Each structure stands twice: as structure tokens, then as C-alpha cells.
Amino acid sequence: MTIMPNSVEGRDIAYQMHPNVNLRAYEKTGGLVIESGDGIYVTDNNGKRYIEAMAGLWSVALGFGEKRLAAVAKAQMEKLPYYHTFGFKSHGPSIDLAEMLIKIAPVPMSKVLLQCSGSEANDSAVKLVWYHWHAQGKPEKRKIISRAGSYHGSTCVAISLTAKADYHAGFGLPFDGLMQVSNESLREALAPI
């Protein structure tokens, strides 16, 4: 298929870099341009419909085109479309969400640290562990173990945890102290004595 430079596909190739893709191959073939969504389906710019089995990388758990969710989002966008929680700042929706999460947490907890993605959440979890050990006067305690072949996200820490050589290649990863254990080693370690 010939991609015209002024088409949406051509403009995507020209101006946007995509994660987890062979960029040279993408320059030649382009990708799939999704235009709309409804329930579990998405539709590309040519009208072809697909089942979106990954919920938009786990971010559309309620499905696409949810009218109730759109109405709540519209009301919030009109009031305060975004605000951060850095430093000494906060806002009602983040407080409400944190309170709800604490109430439904499966184990006793006192605080919630909200993040924008799973990658950032994993990165923050590692930083909190490292911070804890620094505060305890044991900064050398940096070892984090993940399962070989697992996937934890796209930040440098999350890629280090991901334990896939092709994700590490070219980035000088994994970071020191982030280690992987094979499924076989894990089974042996957990086997009853």
C-alpha cells in the first residue's frame, strides 16, 4: 500500500514516534490509525472494526463510548480539567479517589500515591523501596527481583524489571540491583521441602 505524505498515516509516520516498535519498519509501513470506539470495539480510519481485547492498554476497562463516564468527564473538564498533586497542592477528585481506594484496599493502608500509568506506578514503587532503605540508613539495600519474561512497563526502571533482553538492548539496562529470576528457579525456591 502506498502511503500519501499528506494522509493521516503519512503524517503519523512523519511526526510521531511510537514506543515498542521497530522505527525503521514503521517508516515504511506505518501503523493502524484508530478513529473511534464503542464498547469493546474500535474502528480504524478506513471503517474496519476490531475487538480491542486489551482495553486500550488497560485504560478503558469500562469500554469505549460510555455515556455516563463521558458526562462525568465533561463536567470535570468544565470545572477543573487537570491539576497536579506535587508539593503542597491537591484537588477534590484526587482526594475522593484516594479515600475510596483506601476504603476498598484488600489490606490495611494509610496513603495512596496516584500515578498516570502502570509504568510510573512500578517506577514509583521501586523509588519508595529505595527511599525507605535510605531513610533506615541502609542505602546499599537496592535489590529488586522480578520474574524473567515478565512485563512491567516502559520507564527505564520498569523495563529493567521487565527482564526481556530485547527491551534492554540499546539502553544499557537493566539498572544495577534490578535482577530477574527464571520461572524454573522460582519453582525450585518455592517447592515444598
Query: Over its length of 193 residues, how does the chain's per-residue pLDDT go in tens digits?
Result: 688 888 999 999 999 999 888 889 999 999 999 999 999 999 999 999 999 998 888 788 889 999 999 999 999 999 999 999 999 999 999 999 999 999 999 999 999 999 988 899 999 999 999 999 999 999 999 999 898 888 888 899 999 998 788 888 888 888 888 888 887 887 777 776 5
Q: What pLDDT does residue 193 have? A: 56
Domain boundaries, position 106: 82-114
CB-CB contact of 144 with 127 (8 Å): no
Residue 65 sits at φ, ψ, to 5 deg, of: 75, 25
What's the structural domain count of the chain?
Answer: 3
Same domain, 29 and 69: yes
Same domain, 87 and 74: no
The three cell numbers of residue 188 are 525450585
Same domain, 107 and 129: no
Residue 12 sits at φ, ψ, to 5 deg, of: -60, -50
Per DSSP, what are the bridge partners of residue 145?
179
Place of cell 542505602: 139
Q: What pLDDT does residue 1 have? A: 67
Please return the burial class of 26, using the count of CB atoms within 10 Å of its CB with bins 0-12, 13-18 and 19+. Answer: middle
Question: Is residue 3 in some structural domain?
Answer: no
Same domain, 133 and 183: yes
Question: Is residue 183 in some structural domain?
Answer: yes
Q: What pLDDT does residue 59 have? A: 82
Same domain, 143 and 89: no
Q: Are strands 49-51 and 144-147 parallel, antiparallel or unpaired?
A: unpaired
Cα–Cα nearest to 181, from 143, 144, 142, 148? 148
